[in-house]
Structure 1
Amino acid sequence: MSAVTIKEVAQLAGVSPSTVSRVISNNPKISSTTRKRVREAMIQLDYHPNIMAKSLVSKSTQTIGLVLPYSSDNLFINPFFSEVLRGMLAYANNKNYDLLLSSARNQSEELEAINRMVLGRRVDGVVLMSPNRDDRIVEKLMEYNFPFVLLGRSLEYPEVLSVNNDNIKASFDLTNFLLSQGHHKIGIVTGKPELVVSIDRLQGFKNALQKAGCVLNPDWIISAEMLEQNGYHTISMVMNAEDSPTAILVIDDVIAISLIRELVEAGFQIPRDISIVGFNNIYMSEMSNPPITTVDVGIYQLGYQTVQHLIRKLSGKEQNLPTQVIVPHRLIIRESTK
């Protein structure tokens, strides 16, 4: 079966092939009546534009590149990524853009994926997630002068386009909530130390403790990696010490759920023996036993606005837009704290 051509669509719609091309390209000079007639002809003939051929002419692929900083095996264990991706796809689809996804186990693989996308001219722009301190990917994209947006922020290049939460303030607010509940011995489960989001949330936590005049016991700083590798012994060591915390702030809800499970297995009750708070407000946090007090970071909006601002940048409409977009956060109080 031969593919339907643009000439056949034009003939059915009663317009020229160039008019069909302008409709496909969303040319604003085409009237709504003509646009509707052409779209109906495309549907009737089951016509699909040849994007590759179109990109050779327009030099636009109508595609956004996204490199996810985790292996495909572990990628969707955390619902944060599926929800942020849902937001990205919602805006991209609305603007007739596609997403080209790749995953990477480390920054070297991430750089290789970026090079394939950019140097191979497969995408018009790139979304970077979870930027690191001294991020080589950010430096490389700036060197290429290639359009990109960060879901997060860069410590070294604050002027680059980014969509983020104020993670320092969010962590400060969450810690203040624990302080207001009477907790003055508070521990923290941190993320990867090279991630900017981990740095910011740890800083907000420390700022709140310092303002309240509380001393942070270094033994109460637990890495998520340590918890994952040897959770039971790590928790037993912290909780059975002579001086133990009465509350723990966890940098991510998935890790908080895992921590609660380890605490229960070690014989502790939440929140009677210790209060637990998390971050992100993934759907699992409400179904946890007990449901977790957490910070809602607006995951869907993070994804939606990240792609929105990149596409606006690509269209040349970013002149009056801020380079740093902050999605507001809010505290969700549930039964894991007292």
Structure 2
Amino acid sequence: MWRQQRGSGDRQWQTEVRRLRAEAGDWPRTELTDDLAAGLVVGLAYPERLARVRQPGGTEYLMVGGTAANLAPGSVLAGVAWLAIAVADRDPRQPAARIRSAAAIDEATARVAGAGHLVRGQEVAWSGGDVVAREFERLGAVTLVERPLPDPDRDALDRALLEGLRREGLPLLPWDRDARGLRERLAFCRHALGAPWPDVSDDALLRTAGEWLGPELHAARRRADLERVDVATALRRLLPWPQAAALDRVAPERLLVPGGSRLRVDYADPQAPVLALRVQEAFGWQRAPVIADGRVTVLLHLLSPARRPVAVTADLESFWRTGYPRVRAELRGRYPRHAWPEDPTAPSRP
């Protein structure tokens, strides 16, 4: 370095030190030593090479410009908190540059030399799987100060939560049985009847999350709040009033069967809603039930008294004619306590 080569008595060196001291009149130090002056010269010349040690006592540094740099093993500068790096080179095959020449400085010197890279502000963002709200002071890529932001901007919080939902996907929300069932019913209605029944695909829900999930987002501050959302209530906001009033008729959650039970319809496949029931529970039906204002016939999964599969059909008339006699012959001896009438379309109790 210049001072090492010419000595502290060099006139040009002393002139440069006096100039720097004069320019740093508002610098929060009472004295600028020759060593710090040397670091200040380098820092002012190459502010992007100001660097802070990654770990106390270590040899790995992060430069203001964002590049990692390492001291050579055994360097007398190892562990110095801040460096002003004069010369560094980097092998493209290596992740970090090698520091060839540098001067030890302190943070105050780094702040003066790198003043053009100093940024203060607030950040509210989705990071590391949750909302991060903080105040910060950074010298380029080096974070100097970071503290929690006690009262973040509400709009910024909403944007961060939406960003988190789009990154993490819909599984971030608590999809309980009611929420999943409602979404499946809505998907069926969209498939069977089209608009204005809402699109509840992943892409559509993520794209419109600010609308149907708005109140829940506005009340949340972090991931844990999203994990407690009542998703079913939020989903219902997608329904225009006429469709909201018609949902239970068009896509009933349960169907009344001749045996008197109200059984849940499975809408997992929007093209073929399924009703699973024992054969005896279907006695009295001549045809399979229809939904979606008569447009879709429910697919029946007919079960034995032990709830083992017997038949799958949407054409119950055909099953009664051709399939049931075989089933009756096979199962009535095995389950003698259950009814096996010759005419299954006649009203009967299971």
Normalization by structure 2: what TM-score? 0.26
Higher RCO (CA-CA < 8 Å; seq separation 6+): 1
Higher percent of residues as strand: 2
TM-score, normalised relative to structure 1: 0.27
Larger radius of gyration: 2
